[in-house]
Structure 1
């Protein structure tokens, strides 16, 4: 008999930082057995079609997933481009507010009737930095950093987001970390990735880093010239293996 294969994807509202009601995109398999959850953190360009597709991919792989719209407050109901522009004009998402939204997303996942209680985070670009921050700050069981800029390293002059390096938080990392990076990336550069790896080693943290030649920033982005299928496909296989080990029932 074929295995039942269906998922539910929908726009929802969750309670974020300070109890604010924020928009989010939820996708989950229509199955009763307990499964892990994934908080998908969108990239700096915002809460877009491609990020929702990633959220559905996790549901198709057997995880409950939710992507909070971190720009809900700046531009409610706006297009991803306009919302991202408004967020950049304000200096980006403050770290404390992000953590409140991420905690709200994790609470939503754990409250689902088929949750096994385990939650991972994954982020791309600015979301990669935020995924690392979440792994150091809130109750999650696995974190994935996809080319997160300025975990280490200093933003260039005139950079639109008001962010500071957070590599010093490596000593507080609460969960295993998977990092996926392009060797042709500038932010983070290979040197910045090396610095983060040194900090993780210094504090005896559980981590796995994979670096890809002929790949730069945003190599997962299927709608951009930066897309590198070989690196992205290998990265997906490593993400699913990593979550399979740390989020399974």
Structure 2
């Protein structure tokens, strides 16, 4: 772990060659290390997400969070950018995969990088992390209560998303899933369906469900924050990425 970090906003070509921005944090030192792409949640590229990026750097990884809403709302406040993108149906899956691929390539090109990349997301970002791992060569993926990896979105759901059931057989990386038993999206039945599909296809995965937690239990700035679940979850994430991303 490192207490000395360097944080910066960088820009690079994302999906389709579009310029996007990202928040990059690196620990001090030149030892070979892995990288983590953090996919922000539906509320956007906000302070809480950037705190997570810094935490991954403290754990010894190069960490980056691409601003998935940069095209629609460059320079806008996170809430405004999220509202704009949500009104348009959300981030298209193909674009998400392209932006994560570009963020991973940026990490791999950094001095001291060992070439191993993990991806993590919460809520909508959890689904997107699994999506990325079904299409990209990554080394580890963490899904924190990603909605609609399985299951069907309700008719009034604001995002134009489908589940990933038909894509899960192509999952290319070990998966850690962290869920709340009191969550509805994904509910326990959707987590069970995901477990069944991954088992049938011989995928490498580990799930853990917290009995007293609901959705967004990692979110320190929300009433849903669950200290015990979040602390245990961070320990599991650190161990999982440590085992898969070390040189």
Q: TM-score, normalised by structure 1?
A: 0.98
Q: Count residues in correspondence.
A: 247
Cα deviation for residue 167 of structure 1 reads 2.0
State the partner residue of 1:143: 141
Note if contact 2:2-2:27 (Cα within 8 Å) is conserved in structure 1: no
Asked if the contact 2:168–2:197 (Cα under 8 Å) also holds between the matched residues in 1, the reply is: yes
Which residue number corresponds to residue 92 of structure 1?
A: 90
Alignment of 1:152-231 (within 5 A): 152-231=150-229
**Selected match of 1:79 from 61, 77, 80:** 77
Change (3 A) 1:77 1:173: same
Q: Please state how far the C-alpha of 1:158 moved relative to its aligned partner.
A: 1.1
Inter-partner Cα distance in structure 2 for 1:158 and 1:60: 40
Q: Equivalent of 1:108, from 106, 121, 125?
A: 106
Which residue number corresponds to residue 119 of structure 2? 121
Is it true that 1:60 corresponds to 2:67 in the alignment?
A: no
2:59 counterpart of 1:70: no
Distance 1:91 1:33, change over 3 A: same
Give 1:5 deviation, angstroms.
Answer: 4.1
Structure 1: gaps (5+ residues): none
2:138 is the counterpart of 1:131 = no
**Offset, 1:170:** 1.7
Query: 2:6 aligns to what?
Result: 8
Give, in angstroms, the shift of residue 4 of structure 1: 7.3
RMSD over aligned CA atoms reads: 1.0
- Cα distance in 1 for partners of 2:213, 2:156 equals 25
Distance 1:16 1:64 in 2: 18
**SS of corresponding position for 1:168:** coil
Contact 2:2 2:59 in 1 (8 A): no
- 1:139 Cα shift? 1.4
Q: Offset of 1:169 from its aligned partner? A: 1.6
TM-superposed deviation, 1:201 = 0.2
Match in the other structure for 2:28: 30
CA distance in 2, matches of 1:201, 1:5: 39
Indicate if the aligned counterparts of 2:24 and 2:65 stay in contact, CA closer than 8 A. yes
Partners of 1:20 and 1:37 lie apart in 2 by 22
**1:140 offset after TM fit, Å?**
0.6
